[in-house]
Amino acid sequence: MSQLYTTPEASRETNIPESTIRSWLRRHPGVFLVDVHVVVEDSGRKMWTEAGLELLRSRASENVTDDDAEDDTGTGTLLETLLDHDAQVLAREYWRQLPGRVLQRIKQMRDNPTPEDREIVTVSVRAAINAGTSHLLLPTYQPMLLDGADEQD
Q: What is the DSSP letter of 80?
A: H
The pTM of this model reads 0.41
CB atoms within 10 A of CB 141: 20
Per-residue pLDDT tens over the stretch 14-73: 999 999 999 888 888 788 888 889 998 888 899 999 988 998 988 887 655 444 444 444
| b/e per residue 46-84 (b: at least 16 CB within 10 A) | bbbbeebbebbeebbeeebebeebeeeeeeeeeeeeeee
DSSP characters for 108-145? HHHHS--HHHHHHHHHHHHHHHHTT-HHHHHHHHHHHH
Residue with the larger pLDDT of the pair 152 and 111: 111
What does the radius of gyration of the chain's CA atoms come to, in whole angstroms? 31
Mean local confidence (pLDDT), 104-131: 86
pLDDT score of 106 more than 80: yes
Note the pLDDT of residue 139.
66
Q: Worst-scoring range by mean pLDDT, 88-97, 109-118, 129-138? A: 129-138
- CA dist., res. 87 & res. 81, Å (int): 10
More confident residue, 133 or 115: 115
Average pLDDT score, the chain: 80
Please tell me what DSSP assigns to residue 32. Answer: S
